[in-house]
Each structure stands twice: as structure tokens, then as C-alpha cells.
Amino acid sequence: MTVSDADAARALADGRLVILPTETVYGLAADAGNAVAVAAIFEAKGRPRFNPLIAHVADAVQAEAVAVFDAQARALAEAFWPGPLTIVAPLRDRDRVCDLARAGLDSVAVRVPGHARARAIIAAFGRPVVAPSANRSGRPSPTTFADAVEETGTFAGVLIDGGDCAVGVESTVVSVLDGRVSLLRPGSVTREEIEAVVGPLARFGQGDGEGHRSPGRMALHYAPDAPVRIEAEAARPGEILLGFGPGVGDPRWSLSAAGDLREAAANLFRRLREADRERPTGIAVSPIPPHGLGEAINDRLRRAAGFVG
Ligand code: TXA
Ligand code: MG
């Protein structure tokens, strides 16, 4: 049965959850202003309540109704929206994105997704929609409809099949607070691309309060059941090797035989899930170059391997 944008918008208005495709990963969406619906998201994911959600909006006008943007935030929105950049900025409206969705913070994360279907549903709904990745907390994000259904489908009243996610890793999260731009989560918009718009990013540790950090960045995140071993040169007995580059490992399991970072990002979570289903003793992953999109891929892999605190 096909579901219209109006059907999805009605479900959101009724306080139900929606499996929502985006260009990065599938989300589990709810009315950002409905605390009961937002609580159901935390429940479905098993997500700790101190980890705030991203408010997805249809355009920059809707974003500025929720958050206070300075010139730098506007320049970033202009450069990268619609698309995989999330901007954390001071809160303007306490009600449109409820306290629980923000984990009580006086800042709010907003993004305009690049997926046309997601934007159409949000526009039909008319207000912000919070949507964390549709995985259960700590697991790899779903990048196909089938994976989203498997993770949290039973909690959703409406499920939208938007095809495979083109980007495959979550949005880049930056904060624009007190005139300073900081990278909170590397993602598909690269550090280099952001710095080309706003200049050098602020570094943590120089008078930065904890409030500038992303509260949800726990160790052992994005993890399959099998142990993940990164920077691997070859598979050990019982392991599946996710290769990168020509001639590395079994081509069926390669992240990108061409050594292309975009392709590797698009394949990353899907391959981790597929490999996990084979019940290997472990999943080994080839070294991935650190630049550009490689920063986000390595970040997710280090967390999947349990290395980052
Ligand atoms: O690509 C994406 O961003 C996907 C799709 C579905 O849009 N969503 C996603 O949401 O990745 P989630 O909930 O899995 O990640 C949201 C991240 C977390 O790391 C959270 O801590 C951070 O954004 N965040 C949200 N609000 C924040 C705030 N006010 N200050 C700092 N970090 C915030
Ligand atoms: Mg997530």
C-alpha cells in the first residue's frame, strides 16, 4: 500500500511515529512539539534521554522560526541546505521542539534534509519533525528500508520506503554558538567544505564548555554484534574483511573496490549489517584514508570497534 505525504503528515499530527527516509540514513520521526510522541522515540530506540534529537524542517525559514541564526549559521545553511548538515544554534521557540527532544538544552539542532520525500512530508506537516536514526540505540544506522523496518518498524504507525540512502552516513553536526563554529560530529559534509565557508573550525579544549560538545557521542556506537577490527591488512580465520581499494579482500564485501570514499560511505552500514548476518568471529576493515569523507567513516568505525570515549 502506498502512503501519501498527507497520510504521513496526519500520522505525525496524531502523535504516531513514522519511518522516514533521508539522504543520509533512515529516521524514526515524530512531531517535535509532542512530548508523548517524542518519549515514544526514546522508548523505541532504547535511547538515553540525555541525548538530544535533530529537528528536521522543510526550509531555512522554518529553521529560523526554531533557532537563532547568526551570519555564519546563515552562510552554512545557504551553502549546504537542503543536505546533510545539522546546525546547533540557540533556541528561539521552546514549544515547537519540546524540552524532551532537546534533552533540556537551550540550544537546538536543525537540518533541512536533502531527500525530496522527507521534505515533502515535513512541508505537509507544517512543523518541525524530530528524527533520530531509526536503529535501536548503539546499533548501525539503517540505510535501506528493510533495515529500518527490522530495527524499529514495529514502533511506527506509518512506514515510508524512500529507497536506499544515497549518502549512507549521518549528517555532519556543527554548533554555531557565541560566534564560534565547532564540529560536533563528522559527517558527509566534510570539514574542508565547512572551512571553505566559515574559515577554520574552533578546536575543543580552549575554554569550550561541555555544552559545546555533542552529548550523544558514546563509545560503542554504530556497533554490529560481531567484534569490529579496524586498520586491518587481511582477514584472520573466521573474520570477514571489508576491503577498500583495488584487489583488497573479497570484492563482494568491499566498501569500494575503486577506493572511492563516497561509495565506501554509502556501503558502510549496509556491509556491516550484511557481514554480521553471516555470524563471523569478527569483522575486519581495511584502513580508510583520513581526509574528506574518510573522517566520518573512520569516526563511525572507531566507535563500532569501541575505541572512542
Ligand atoms: O543524518 C542524520 O542526522 C540522521 C537523519 C535521520 O536525519 N539523524 C541522526 O540523528 O543522526 P541522531 O539522533 O542519531 O543524532 C543526532 C546527533 C547526536 O549526536 C546528538 O547528540 C546531536 O545530534 N545533537 C542534537 N541536538 C544537539 C544539541 N542541542 N547540542 C549538541 N548536539 C546535539
Ligand atoms: Mg544515531
Residues spanned by CATH 3.90.870.10 within the chain? 5-213
Whether residue 25 has its Cβ less than 6 Å from ligand 1:
yes
Reported as type and span, the H/E element at residue 74 is helix 71-80
Place of cell 549528517: 171
pLDDT, tens digit, for every residue of 101-145?
999 999 999 999 999 999 999 999 999 999 999 999 999 999 999
Residue 155 contacts by C-beta under 8 Å, 6 or more apart in sequence?
17, 28, 40, 43, 44
pLDDT at 308: 67
pLDDT band at 211 (very low <50, low <70, confident <90, very high): very low
pLDDT band at 208 (very low <50, low <70, confident <90, very high): very low
pLDDT at 307: 79
Nearest protein CA to atom 6 of ligand 1, as residue? 27
Phi–psi pair at 163, nearest 5 degrees: 80, -175
Ligand 1: nearest atom to the Cα of 134: 6
In this structure, which amino acid lies at residue 13?
A
> Of 20, 54, 81, which is best to mutate to test ligand 1, by the most ligand atoms within 8 angstroms of its C-beta?
54
Q: How far apart are CA 112 and CA 171, in angstroms?
A: 10
Cβ atoms of 210 and 259 within 8 Å: the answer is no
pLDDT band at 222 (very low <50, low <70, confident <90, very high): confident
Whether residue 217 has its Cβ less than 6 Å from ligand 1:
yes
pLDDT at 97: 98
What's the mean per-residue pLDDT of the chain? 94
pLDDT, tens digit, for every residue of 137-184?
999 999 999 999 999 999 999 999 999 999 999 999 999 999 999 999
> Of 23, 98, 170, 303, which is best to mutate to test ligand 1, by the most ligand atoms within 8 angstroms of its C-beta?
170
Residue 129's SS3 state is strand
Q: How far apart are CA 199 and CA 291, in angstroms?
A: 17
pLDDT of 217 > 80? The answer is no
Q: Span 5-213: which CATH code?
A: 3.90.870.10
How far, CA to CA in Å, does 157 sit from each of 17, 19, 26, 37, 106?
6, 8, 15, 11, 30
pLDDT at 212: 44
Using the mean position of ligand 1's atoms as its centre, give its distance from the Cα of residue 199 in Å: 23
pLDDT of 219 > 70? The answer is no
SS percent in the chain: helix, strand, coil, step 5: 30, 15, 50
pLDDT at 286: 98
